[in-house]
Structure 1
Amino acid sequence: MTVTASSAPTVSRWGRRLRWATAAATLAGIDLALKARAQTALDGSPIEAGPVDLRLAFNPGAAFSIAADAPSWVMLTLTTLITTAIAVGGWVVAPRANLLTRLGLAALLGGAAANVIDRAPDGLVTDYLHTGWWPTFNLADTFIVLGVIALIITTLIGNSDEREQLSPDHHTDNRD
């Protein structure tokens, strides 16, 4: 039996949003758990692990310690506003976006949210991945970079779901 696109089960708008939000929350949770573990396991005892060592560091600024001298409330406010904008944009886009776009937005939101949550108590973001040639970073930073790369790729190749919606042969599905 062959399954065609028209007979394949579809996910509702709310289902796509829920999956997207769950993916973002899962990524944030993974990073926050690793940050908590790094704070206990790496305090004063870095681990040399090859190309990426585990070394505890704290960053009061944004990426590459930009604005590290700014008051912590300013950094928290700015990063919270940016994270909120990502969440709102993702919520709006998720129902009609392709899988790569949703994954990119989930990675971006998960990483940004984890860093905001980590920054909230003391104004510092916990970093634990150290290469020696790049500033120390964390998994949330990696999620953010990978999310941006995914969004750039989908921008360059286009969103097949959006092309399908614009197609004259496309029949609208009003299920929510």
Structure 2
Amino acid sequence: MTAREVPPARVGRTRLALAATAALLAATDLVLKAWAGRGLADGASVDLGLIQLRLAFNSGVAFSLGDDLPGWVVIAVTAMITAGLAVVVWRSARTAPLPAVALSVALAGAVANLVDRAADGVVTDYLHTGWFPTFNLADVYITVGVLAFAVLNVFGSDHDRVQQPARDD
């Protein structure tokens, strides 16, 4: 075991916590998408100040990229990326638990959007600012998770720094 690794007894608990975090966040977004699909279906908009609740559907990925591709292609590609991300989160639990938390937040968004898309080929969006494309909480998870992961990798964390033993030359 290196100085960075989580003790083996804790790896399982860390992985369980990461999976629970991703599942809870994904479920929250899916519940909000279901509510938006019913509550905002008549074109209603709810003004919350800086943001509005407004129903929209996206057949593509980020910023509607790939919206002209067949739905099965978008689902297959996003499923592969999501599975790859899940593997990275799983493996990171042993050596980099803090970055793994950030990635599990991004994984939650990826899973929620994939589950939503699998139902009818589109992702339900419900957050609208007026100056940015309409998005959903899963998109926020992906963005925040990836940004947090990048910050942790650039600046590091005390927990994840490798402790180098002192050497006498």
Structure 1 length-normalised TM: 0.85
**8 Å Cα contact 1:13/1:96 also seen in 2:** no
**8 Å Cα contact 1:56/1:128 also seen in 2:** yes
Residue matched to 1:17: 15
The 5 Å alignment of 1:100-115 reads: 101-115=99-113
For residue 56 of structure 2, give the secondary structure of its aligned residue in structure 1: strand
155-164 vs 104-113, which moves further: 155-164
Q: Which ranges of structure 2 fall in alignment gaps of 5 or more residues?
A: 1-6
Change (3 A) 1:55 1:11: farther
Mapped partners of 1:26, 1:102: distance in 2: 16
Structure 2 length-normalised TM: 0.88
For residue 126 of structure 1, give the secondary structure of its aligned residue in structure 2: strand
Residue matched to 2:70: 71
Q: Which ranges of structure 1 fall in alignment gaps of 5 or more residues?
A: 1-8, 170-176
Q: Which amino acid aligns with 1:67?
A: G
Mapped partners of 1:162, 1:48: distance in 2: 42
1:50 paired with 2:49, answer: yes
**8 Å Cα contact 1:51/1:131 also seen in 2:** yes
Residue matched to 1:172: none
- Selected match of 1:156 from 113, 135, 154: 154
For residue 161 of structure 2, give the secondary structure of its aligned residue in structure 1: helix
**8 Å Cα contact 2:14/2:97 also seen in 1:** no
**8 Å Cα contact 1:96/1:161 also seen in 2:** no
Q: CA deviation at 1:47?
A: 1.3
Q: CA deviation at 1:10?
A: 9.5
Residue matched to 2:145: 147
Residue matched to 1:121: 119
Number of residue pairs aligned between Structure 1 and Structure 2:
159
Change (3 A) 1:129 1:11: farther
